[in-house]
Amino acid sequence: MTDRCNLRCSYCMPAEGLDWLPSEQVLTDDEVVRLITIAVHRLGVREVRFTGGEPLVRRGLVDIVGRTTDLTPRPDTSITTNALGLERMAGALATAGLDRVNVSMDTVRQDSFHEITRRDRLHDVVAGLEAAAAAGLGPVKINAVLLRGVNDDQAPELLRWCLDRGYHLRFIEQMLLDAQHVWSRDKMVTADEILASLETQFQLEPAEEPRGSAPAELFAVNGGPATVGVIASVTRPFCGDCDRVRLTADGQIRNCLFAREESDLRAALRGGAGDDEIADRWRAAMWGKRPGHGIDDVSFLQPTRPMSAIGG
Ligand code: SAM
């Protein structure tokens, strides 16, 4: 939806923010809806997730969601958000037909939240979560990244907080997609460490439901039915099952989160290409998908586009 964000998570972007995309390069609402329509009508896309940057800061979001859920077949829709402003917008998003929200929240401690995001807004996130659940945008999922020496001792506390409120928690391994290029494999908290930390307080067993193409490996907590997930793109990659495609705010197709190449659909759109031609370009972009993201390879180079401009 946008590359702009109102938080400054230390593992994502620098305190001063980034050079945002010039507005003329960002797809208009009509262009976004046209591409979603092509994806749903011609390419078999069944699920659309709105992300960013922070999707809630895009003015046309509710309208785009509404036009997406009007499509036939109606795709499943969700947003990935930091929840700032969600308290105000949850009702309108639900009315527009949004199915679910994924909220990013790495801690339930105010001081750690400030240290990680460089903003004192934990109370807004909590209010946003409550509003989303009340509006029926569930199951509400929470995504958390653990950072060594900052919140890596807080996994059990975060899980207990989520279980008490009925939120579904998933931990994401930190990936080398930060704009500051400070990621290092030695410093990242691995899935094994996250699970070991949780097991100091909870009993975990691999969940029975089939994982399919879902990025999260799920574990039943204390015999279930509650679960906790781990998205281990680095240490337990799931490339063979990945069926995602990412469309950036400036109209580029990325066939992998870690891809260095992109396919320019905005140029096609603005150059007058018809829906058939755009669908063909999109298919060709996906057929070029590599068998794996290769981040373990010594020759791997970090993509130039940071996570905040890809969407996660
Ligand atoms: N602003 C929205 C949000 O906070 O959910 C959507 C965009 S944000 C880039 C999407 C997700 O990416 C968030 O859960 C965030 O924690 C995660 N993320 C950002 N940088 C990351 C990194 N280097 N490694 C792993 N996850 C990262």
Query: Per DSSP, which regions of 73-153 are E strands?
Result: 76-81, 100-104, 141-145
Ligand 1 centroid to residue 185 C-alpha, Å: 17
Ligand 1 centroid to residue 272 C-alpha, Å: 34
Q: How far apart are CA 54 and CA 195, in angstroms?
A: 29
The Cβ of residue 263 has, within 10 Å, a number of other Cβ atoms equal to: 19
Bridge-partner residues for 264, per DSSP? 252
DSSP string, 287-312: HT--SS--TTSTT----SS-GGGT--
pLDDT at res. 179? 85
Q: Which two tokens stand for residue 15?
A: 């305190």
Q: Residue 296: is its pLDDT beyond 80? A: no
The Cβ of residue 276 has, within 10 Å, a number of other Cβ atoms equal to: 10
Chain mean pLDDT for the chain: 95
| Per-state percent for the chain, helix, strand, coil, to nearest 5 | 35, 15, 50
Nearest to 146 by CA among 138, 136, 154, 157: 154
pLDDT at res. 299? 79
Going by the DSSP 8-state scheme, the letter that residue 230 receives in this structure is E
Percent of the chain with pLDDT over 70: 100
Ligand 1 centroid to residue 307 C-alpha, Å: 7
- Confidence band (pLDDT; 50, 70, 90) for 311? confident
Q: What tens digit of pLDDT does each residue of 91-133 get? A: 999 999 999 999 999 999 999 999 999 999 999 999 999 999 9
Report which secondary-structure segment, H or E, holds 229: strand 227-231
Q: Residue 298: is its pLDDT beyond 80? A: no
Q: What tens digit of pLDDT does each residue of 135-162 get? A: 999 999 999 999 999 999 999 999 999 9
Strands 252-254 and 100-104, bridge-based pairing: unpaired
Q: Residue 252: is its pLDDT beyond 80? A: yes
Burial class (CB in 10 A: 0-12, 13-18, 19+), 206: exposed
Asked if 5 contacts 111 with a C-beta cutoff of 8 angstroms, the reply is no
Ligand 1-lining residues (CB < 6 angstroms):
5, 11-12, 51-52, 54, 80-82, 104, 143, 145, 172, 174-175, 177-178, 307-308, 311-312
Q: Which two tokens stand for residue 306?
A: 């940071």
Q: How far apart are CA 142 and CA 81, in angstroms?
A: 10
Query: Per DSSP, which regions of 124-212 are E strands?
Result: 141-145, 168-172, 204-206
Q: What tens digit of pLDDT does each residue of 122-131 get? A: 999 999 999 9
Q: Which two tokens stand for residue 293?
A: 């993201």
| CA count, 13 A, side-chain hemisphere, 271 | 9
Q: Residue 297: is its pLDDT beyond 80? A: no
What's the residue count for the chain? 312
Mutate to test the pocket of ligand 1, among 2, 12, 18, 89 (most ligand atoms within 8 A of CB): 12
Report which secondary-structure segment, H or E, holds 38: helix 29-42
Nearest to 130 by CA among 184, 187, 86, 82: 86
- Confidence band (pLDDT; 50, 70, 90) for 182? confident
Q: Which two tokens stand for residue 295?
A: 């981040």
pLDDT at res. 119? 98
